[in-house]
Amino acid sequence: MQIVIVGCGKIGTTVTEDFVAEGFDVTVIDKDPAVISAITNTYDVIGVCGNGVDCELLAEAGIAKAELLVAVTGSDELNMLCCFLARKMGAKHTIARIRNPEYNDQSLSFMRHHLDLSMSINPELLAAQELFKILKMPSAITVETFSRRNYEMVEVVLRPESVLSGHSLMELRKKYSAKFLVCVVQRGENVYIPDGNFVLQEGDRIGISATPTEIHKLLRQIGLMQKSAKNVMILGASRTAYYLSKMLMDNGSAVKVVDKDFARCEEFSALLPGAVVIEGDGVQQELLLEESIDRMDAFLSLTGMDEGNILVSFFAAAQGVPKVIAKINSNELGSMAEKLGLECIISPKKVISDVLSRYARALKNSLGSSKVETLYKLMDGRAEALEFIVTPDFPGLNIPLQNLNLKKNILISGIVRGRKAIIPSGSDVILPDDHVIVLGAGTQLQDLSDILL
């Protein structure tokens, strides 16, 4: 499948890396020759230097034969124009990054229709939605939803005092009344799809799947349930902070935002008059202490500086803030921060990458025995969780799961049938129109039939 990516910034580069890993034929366009040189030297892609709205350039990039064009430059308007031209020149699907809050749902709907956009993506809004889910369930480090929120997967870290440590999964299923499944475990650099004999250890990062009600029930039973964050401090009056603050305030939470840019503080106050906005350098510990950081339910560092976000987050954790989250775009710094003990990290480029990978994989398998509805990359990208909608030609229909010959490191972690969510056992079967959630480690699934040997 041929894909053209316009704009090779942080998000464009991440998407390029993922699409190449997926095996797609990728052509990248950027007006900076140094950027094109760097990305073509790193990845097996074709690079074209120039303006993404130049029709001759788009033709040179092979737009007429492209299945998908993704425009992720720094300009919303250029992205939209690029997608419009690409569709006129033969591209089958187009996706534009549109991040300005002034483009509301109504105007976006209008533009998608008249520009014939397949999808618009807003990294900051999607990141804010991810953060909001976590703040509603602070004991988790990530919360992924499936089948219109009828099924969830949460990741938690087993701390030294965890009651789960030292027990096999079979023992835990018998010990607790909640219906759940531990479907993936990261231990150090290794990721496991565990069976019933797998014994959990202190420090494990585990993925638990169940219905939202059963997950809450389990977290209460093991003493990990925390109330949703009601007093939140955010460092950095960014677009992500704006979207998140609005969601939190609409949900009844009190929000305090700190930023050293006076103009940005004024703009933020005008957009969200209910928020408390403080002009000041959030790196200064005295300021954070004066603003009662130690009384907050959650602290989020969302500035554009990864290093600063990490350092301030460690300070917040040292003040006893129950939930601390840092925005980190650098994979290397994110991994380093996690090893040093910073559990919860958000990366807007990763959120966008998941969305675009899901869309591209759904296009690729449109003639297969299932449809990709949801895709998440878990455990630092070492595992994937996919939701498939089953079509009548799936070869594993009506066969008990215990009799399916599954590939190694594959687990069917959930089945949603209508509104009924099923924690699968060996006697359960897959039926047409089921939503099937599959976990895979060290493999990429394009189609549900790929789980079978």
Instruction: Report pLDDT for 348.
Output: 87
Instruction: Report pLDDT for 292.
Output: 95
Decide if 409 contacts 235 (C-beta within 8 A): no
- Give burial (CB, 10 Å; 0-12/13-18/19+) of 113: exposed
Instruction: Report pLDDT for 105.
Output: 65
Instruction: Report pLDDT for 404.
Output: 94
CA atoms within 13 Å, Cβ hemisphere of 445: 35
Amino acid at 67: E
DSSP-assigned letter for residue 228: P
Backbone angles phi, psi at 405, to 5 degrees: -90, 90
Amino acid at 83: C
Q: Does this model's pTM top 0.85? A: yes
Backbone angles phi, psi at 298, to 5 degrees: -155, 150
Closest by CA position to 191, among listed 439, 453, 436:
439
Instruction: Report pLDDT for 354.
Output: 85
Give the pairing type, strands 344-346 and 383-390. unpaired
Q: Compute, in degrees rounded to 10, the torsion defined by CA atoms 108, 19, 328, 30.
A: -70
- The Cα 313–Cα 363 span in angstroms is 39
Domains contained in the chain, CATH given:
2-121 (3.40.50.720), 137-221 (3.30.70.1450), 231-321 (3.40.50.720), 364-451 (3.30.70.1450)
Closest by CA position to 374, among listed 356, 365, 386:
386
pLDDT in tens, the chain (453 residues): 999 999 999 899 999 999 998 889 999 999 999 999 999 999 999 999 999 999 999 999 999 999 999 999 999 999 999 999 999 999 999 999 998 777 666 667 777 777 888 888 998 999 999 999 999 999 898 999 998 888 999 999 998 889 999 999 999 989 999 999 999 999 988 999 999 999 999 999 999 999 999 999 999 999 888 888 999 999 999 999 999 999 999 999 999 999 999 999 999 999 999 999 999 998 889 999 999 999 999 999 999 999 999 999 999 999 999 999 999 988 889 888 888 888 899 988 888 888 898 888 888 766 555 678 888 888 888 899 999 999 898 999 999 999 999 999 999 999 999 889 999 999 999 999 999 999 999 888 888 999 998
Instruction: Report pLDDT for 104.
Output: 61
Closest by CA position to 107, among listed 118, 94, 120, 95:
120
Give a three-class secondary structure readout of 141-162: CEEEEECCCCEEEEEEECCCCC
Instruction: Report pLDDT for 368.
Output: 58
Decide if 435 contacts 387 (C-beta within 8 A): yes
Backbone angles phi, psi at 301, to 5 degrees: -105, 110
